Amino acid sequence: MKYILTILFALFFVQYASTQDTVTRKVDSLPVKLYLLENVTRDGETLPEIAIDEVEVKRKMGLGERFQWWRHRRLVFNVKKVYPYCVVVRESLTEVNDTLMKITDEKERKRFLNDFEKRVFKDYEDDMRKMTITQGRILIKLVDRETQNSSYDLIHDYRGPVTALFWQGIARIFGTNLKDKYDPEGEDYLIERVVTEIEAGRI
């Protein structure tokens, strides 16, 4: 063990010395980026000038402002992550409805829904498992926004009341509610603003 520590220390020292030497050489060498000064005449006097980018100076944010900024950035991150899945839900719902309208046999309808459910689980289960609880809550809200139906209602209508109760129970264990409705003018106002920015292509 003592010899291993000695070797690691020696390697660290060599690396440190090499870094110091590199820093020294960089200081002695010419900068890579050069600026060309232009002669500009004003009021009969010619002086060398260079155009520089405008610099905006802002005051340091207070603790409360930094916290609000951090919360907003986190909300933007979460909404951007889950919003594409809500679009998938909306488009998939249209596909399912169009197909079900063409199927009259009840057994065939159940078979189609079972196959569709398996395909959705295969494609998106891993992504869903990686979501945080907060992202899951936003997803439930946005599903209601995109489909005008709560997640609970969708499961109830397409998979039956027993399945809906089962998944509602799972959701409640993790502190979420499949029956949550989207309120763009109330508690979900900030989410709506972020979604609007996403749809406009600004973020």
| CA dist., res. 134 & res. 127, Å (int) | 14
CA dihedral for 153, 159, 162, 167, sign (positive or negative): negative
Half-sphere exposure of residue 199: CA atoms within 13 angstroms, side-chain side: 10
Between residues 146 and 28, which one has the greater pLDDT? 146
Residues 156-187 have pLDDT tens digits of 888 888 988 988 898 888 888 999 999 999 99
* DSSP element (H, E) containing 38: strand 38-42
Residue 176 near residue 135 (C-beta atoms within 8 A): no
Start-to-end CA span in the chain (Å): 53
The pTM for the full model equals 0.64
Residues 38-81 have pLDDT tens digits of 888 888 888 888 777 787 776 666 777 777 888 889 999 999 99
Average pLDDT over residues 137-154: 91
Residue 86 near residue 145 (C-beta atoms within 8 A): yes
Share of the chain above pLDDT 70, in %: 79
The residue whose two tokens read 């920015």 is 197
Residues 186-197 have pLDDT tens digits of 999 999 999 999
Q: How high is the pLDDT of residue 35?
A: 64
Amino acid at 161: P
Q: How far is residue 182 from each of residues 71, 72, 75, 197, measured CA to CA in Å? A: 20, 19, 16, 17
Between residues 2 and 110, which one has the greater pLDDT? 110
- pLDDT(3) > 50: no
Q: How high is the pLDDT of residue 45?
A: 85
| Range ranked top by mean pLDDT from 21-25, 106-110, 180-184 | 180-184
Q: How high is the pLDDT of residue 187?
A: 92
Give bridge partners of residue 45 from the DSSP assignment. Answer: 42
E strand map for 45-139: 45-49
